[in-house]
Amino acid sequence: MTAPADAPAWPDRLYDVFKRAGIKQVAYVPDAGHARLIDRCRADADIRDIVLTTEEEGVALAAGAWLGGDRSALLMQSSGLGNCVNMFSLMRSCRFPLLMLITMRGEWEEFNPWQQPMGAIVDDVLKLCEAEVYRVREPQDVEGAAERAVQQAFGAERIAAVVLSQQLIGKKVWTK
Amino acid sequence: MSGATLERRAAMAALVAGRDDNLLVVPGLGSTCWDLAAAGDDDRNFYLWGAMGGAAMIGLGLALAQPQKRVAVITGDGEMLMGLGALATIGIQRPKNLGVIVFDNGVYGETGMQPSATQGGVDLVAVAQGCGIVTCLDVRDEAGLADLAARLKTLEGTLFARVLIDPAEPPRVLPERDGVVLKQRFRAALGLAEAAKA
C-alpha cells in the first residue's frame, strides 16, 4: 500500500503500534480520518478487520476477543463514542481491556454544526467512564500516545482512548 | 407466538447436555442466564448481568479469537432485538464456529411480560437470512431442538436459530455475579497465560 505523497504519516505509525502490540482484531465504523489505517489493516492477513453497524458492537466484540485471548482495537469518530456509553459498563464491570482510537469532529474547521454537540463532550464522557485519555494534537505525538494507551488497556485491563484532534485530520472538503 | 410448546429450562438443558470442553457459551442478559445456570455451572459459561444487546458480538469476538472452539450465544428475543445490527456484522464475518440461538417467547419476561417486536410480527429468522447467515433454523418442537443440539456438537458454519419457547418464567437460578471472576475463570479454562496470575 502506498499513500499519496501529501498523506499524513501518523496512520502508518498507528498501524506499526498495532503490529508491535499484537492486535488481531480491528473493528470500526468507517471514518475518513481512519481511512488509511483501515486500509492497512484490511491488507494485513494477520489482522481480522470487522466493519460494525454501530460502535457499541465493537465494545462487546473487544470483550469477547479478550475472553478468547485476542487483543483488539476499536476505531471510530467522535460521534460514535456516544453510541458506546452503556456498553462500557461491560468493560468496567469485568475489567476488560478496550483500546479505542477516536478521530475528532466538531472542534476545528468543522463545516457540519451537527457534529459539535457530541464532539464537545468527548473528553468529559471518557473521563466519566473512567477511561484513560490520551489527547493528541501534533502528528509526532501520535505514536507515543498510542503506545501508552496499549499499555494501559492490556497491561492494566481498562479502557484507554487515543483522541486524535481534528487538526491532525484536516478540513473535510464538502464541495466537489 | 402460537404453537410454542418448548419449555425454556428443558430447551437449554438439551442444548448443553453432554457438552465437551470445546463448547463456550455466552447467554444474554436475563432469563437465558438463569436457564444456563440452572442447566449446570461451567467455567466456560460467560454470564451477562448487563451489556444488553451485546451477547452476539461478544460471541463473535470470542469465536474469531478461538477458531478451534465452538461458541454458542444463547439469548432472548429482547436482548437480540437491541443489537440487531450484530447479525449484519456476523453475516459478513461468518466464522464457522459461531452459533447464535434466540429463545423467542415474544415478551420481555424480566420486566413484566411486555410484548416484544417479535410478538408484533418481526421475524428473526428472516432477519438472519437477510443478513447473509446461510444456516437459519426455526425450532418449534422437540425434533427441531434435537437437530439444533446435534449441530452444536460440530458447528461447521455460522448458524442462527430461533427457538420458540413458552413465555412461562421459572424461578430464577442466579450464577456468579462478579464480572472479574467470570472473566478470569473463563480465560483460565482456555489456558490463557495471564489468567494464572490473577
What does the domain layout of chain A look like in residue ranges? Answer: 23-169
Domains of chain B from N-terminus onward: 8-193 (3.40.50.970)
Percent of chain B residues past pLDDT 90, beyond the cut: 94
pLDDT band at A7 (very low <50, low <70, confident <90, very high): confident
pLDDT at A4 > cutoff 80: no
pLDDT, tens digit, 9 for 90 and up, residues A64-101: 999 999 999 999 999 999 999 999 999 999 999 999 99
pLDDT, tens digit, 9 for 90 and up, residues B138-150: 999 999 999 999 9
pLDDT at B1 > cutoff 80: no
Question: A23-169 in CATH: which number?
Answer: 3.40.50.970
Question: Which pLDDT score is estimated for B194?
Answer: 58
pLDDT at A1 > cutoff 70: no
Strand boundaries in chain B, DSSP class E: 23-27, 70-76, 98-104, 107-108, 114-115, 135-139, 159-164
**What would the grid cell of residue B154 be?**
460440530
pLDDT at B198 > cutoff 60: no
The pTM (predicted TM-score) of the whole model is 0.95
> Which residues of chain B are within 8 Å of residue A54 when distances are taken between CB atoms?
85
Q: Which of A25, A69, A94 sits opposite B182 (nearest CB)?
A: A94
Q: Which of A50, A63, A86 sits opposite B89 (nearest CB)?
A: A50
Question: Which pLDDT score is estimated for B195?
Answer: 46
Any bridge partners for residue A23, and if so which? Answer: A71
Per-residue CA distances from B31 to B47, B159, B172, B174, B176 (Å):
11, 21, 8, 10, 15
Question: Which pLDDT score is estimated for B192?
Answer: 96
Question: Which pLDDT score is estimated for B73?
Answer: 99
Question: Which pLDDT score is estimated for B4?
Answer: 58
pLDDT at B64 > cutoff 90: yes
Which chain A residues have any C-beta within 8 angstroms of a chain B C-beta? 24-25, 48, 50-54, 56-70, 72, 86-87, 89-90, 93-96
Quick check: B173 and B37 in contact, CB under 8 A? Answer: yes
CB contact under 8 A, A60 and B51: yes
Closest by Cα among B51, B48, B95, B92 to B74? B48
Mutate to test the interface with A, among B49, B62, B197 (most CBs of A within 10 A): B62
pLDDT band at A170 (very low <50, low <70, confident <90, very high): confident
Complex ipTM: 0.96
> Which residues of chain B are within 8 Å of residue A56 when distances are taken between CB atoms?
53-54, 83
